[in-house]
């Protein structure tokens, strides 16, 4: 609770262009207050910090009253919040709303706010706070990363040849859930052979063949809500094509170069270029078409970003992925991804499974 109170205070202290902010994105509401229901708005101003919800959650939100006011209204909480702004945000004349709020709803609310109150869009106020994680948030992400090592260990020790991509994906999901995680960060990617050349391939009911490279991209989301994300590429049933093995070594070199560039003060676009230059120098730059990485947190994709043109500056507490790939259409795909915490001294890799090319027994 103390951490949530500190977040709300930081948001209130940082309001410059508006007198109050309506926080409607549920993940942002959760970040600020700890509320996990499906219908909630946080109203933040120097005068008050209020969580608005409906009858269904009136018991669940009782613990939150220790750090902020709670108002239980009817289910149309957006309208009731707009009508009650004089009480919910005393003295506020310019009230911000998150820019993702649907246009139609904004226009409706403008017709309901008290006379003299102006609604104005505010972009990324809570997201800016979310970029820098506390030790608690990093620990939650580390916990969600640890389970992936067990998943990859099972894949390495087991059989891939003859199994379908969909079957492997289902085993991954079952393993993560049986380990106590309520959900995954995203649907598992299991892509063998030429199918691996699609960076976001969906698992098929197609058997994996001996010698295939198999891209496996997975993540777990713990009860805390924080996501992990890691990719490894396996050789099914023995050594792959020598050209594929050479491509793997190239991607690994690029990944290690990218990791080495992750430190406080590094610019996202330059970190991307450090890894990308390794693949470009080998004449394969056109086969690496996506960004090097992205931030994570309550969402598996959030700021900061590591991609061409990104001006995001890394700082301690950022969580990012480093995931170069190489995709040869009609032949194979390779991606190696680690989840990384930026630290005062540089970085900490949260995903510990080996990045050597593992050849499964079958």
DSSP, collapsed to helix, strand or coil, labels residue 11 as helix
Spatial separation of the C-alpha atoms in residues 142 and 181, rounded to whole Å: 13
Contact assessment for residue 295 and residue 341, using Cβ atoms and an 8 Å cutoff: no
Cα torsion 302, 221, 333, 260 to 10°: value is 60
Task: Tell me the DSSP string of 292-357.
Answer: SEEE-SSSSSEEEEESTT--PBP-TT-EEEE--EEEETTTEEEE-BEEEEE-SSSEEE---S--S-
Contact assessment for residue 269 and residue 307, using Cβ atoms and an 8 Å cutoff: yes
- pLDDT, residue 42, reads 97
Spatial separation of the C-alpha atoms in residues 299 and 256, rounded to whole Å: 25
- pLDDT, residue 75, reads 85
Instruction: Print burial letters for 125-136: b (CB count within 10 Å at least 16), e (below 16).
Output: bbbebbbebeee
Structural domains present in the chain? 2-130 (3.40.350.10), 135-359 (3.90.230.10)
From residue 44, alpha-carbon distances to 50, 147, 198, 199 in Å are 6, 37, 43, 40
Instruction: Print burial letters for 297-336: b (CB count within 10 Å at least 16), e (below 16).
Output: bbbbebbbbbbeebebebebbbbbbbbbbbbbeeebbbbb
Q: Which two tokens stand for residue 40?
A: 């909630």
Sites in the chain below the pLDDT cut of 50: none
Contact assessment for residue 60 and residue 37, using Cβ atoms and an 8 Å cutoff: yes
pTM for this one?
Answer: 0.94
Contact assessment for residue 211 and residue 192, using Cβ atoms and an 8 Å cutoff: no
From residue 219, alpha-carbon distances to 145, 159, 185, 227, 309 in Å are 7, 21, 5, 7, 27
267-306 pLDDT per residue, tens: 999 999 999 999 999 999 999 999 999 999 999 999 999 9
- pLDDT, residue 67, reads 85
Q: Which two tokens stand for residue 242?
A: 């020598």
* Closest alpha carbon to 259 in 353, 150, 336: 336
- pLDDT, residue 362, reads 81
**How big is the chain, counted in residues?**
362
Q: Sign of dihedral through CA atoms 118, 123, 124, 125? A: negative
Q: Which two tokens stand for residue 125?
A: 């106020």
- pLDDT, residue 70, reads 95
Contact assessment for residue 262 and residue 347, using Cβ atoms and an 8 Å cutoff: yes
Establish whether the linkage from the previous residue to 304 is cis, with ω within 30° of 0: yes
- pLDDT, residue 2, reads 83
């Amino acid at each position: 609770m103390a951490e949530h109170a500190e977040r709300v205070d930081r948001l209130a202290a940082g309001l410059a262009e508006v007198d109050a902010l309506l926080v409607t994105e549920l993940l942002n509401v959760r970040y600020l207050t700890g509320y996990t229901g499906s219908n909630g708005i946080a109203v933040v101003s120097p005068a008050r910090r209020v969580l608005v919800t409906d009858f269904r959650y009136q018991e669940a939100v009782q613990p939150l009253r220790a750090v902020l006011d709670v108002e239980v209204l009817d289910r149309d909480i957006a309208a009731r919040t707009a009508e009650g702004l004089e009480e919910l945000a005393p003295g506020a004349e310019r009230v911000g709303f998150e820019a993702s709020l649907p246009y139609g709803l904004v226009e409706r609310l403008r017709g309901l706010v008290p006379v003299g109150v102006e609604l104005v869009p505010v972009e990324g106020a809570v997201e800016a706070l979310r970029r820098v994680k506390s030790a608690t948030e990093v620990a939650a992400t580390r916990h969600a990363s640890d389970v992936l090592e067990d998943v990859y260990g099972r894949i390495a020790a087991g059989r891939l040849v003859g199994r379908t991509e969909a079957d492997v994906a289902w085993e991954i999901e079952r393993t993560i859930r049986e380990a106590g995680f309520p959900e995954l960060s995203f649907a598992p990617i299991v892509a063998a052979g030429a199918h691996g050349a699609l960076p976001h391939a969906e698992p098929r009911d197609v058997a994996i063949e001996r010698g295939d490279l198999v891209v496996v991209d997975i993540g777990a989301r713990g009860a805390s809500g924080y996501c992990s994300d890691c990719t490894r590429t396996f050789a099914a049933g023995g050594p792959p094509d020598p050209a594929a093995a050479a491509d793997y070594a190239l991607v690994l070199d690029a990944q290690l170069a990218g990791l080495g560039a992750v430190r406080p003060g590094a610019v996202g676009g330059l970190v991307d270029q450090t890894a990308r230059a390794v693949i470009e120098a080998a004449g394969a730059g056109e086969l690496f078409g996506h960004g090097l990485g992205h931030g994570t947190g309550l969402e598996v994709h959030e700021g900061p970003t590591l991609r061409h043109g990104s001006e995001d500056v890394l700082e301690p507490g950022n969580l990012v992925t480093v995931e170069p790939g190489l995709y040869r259409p009609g032949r194979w795909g390779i991606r190696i991804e680690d989840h990384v915490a930026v630290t005062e001294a540089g970085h900490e890799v949260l995903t510990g499974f080996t990045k050597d090319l593992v050849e499964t027994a079958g």
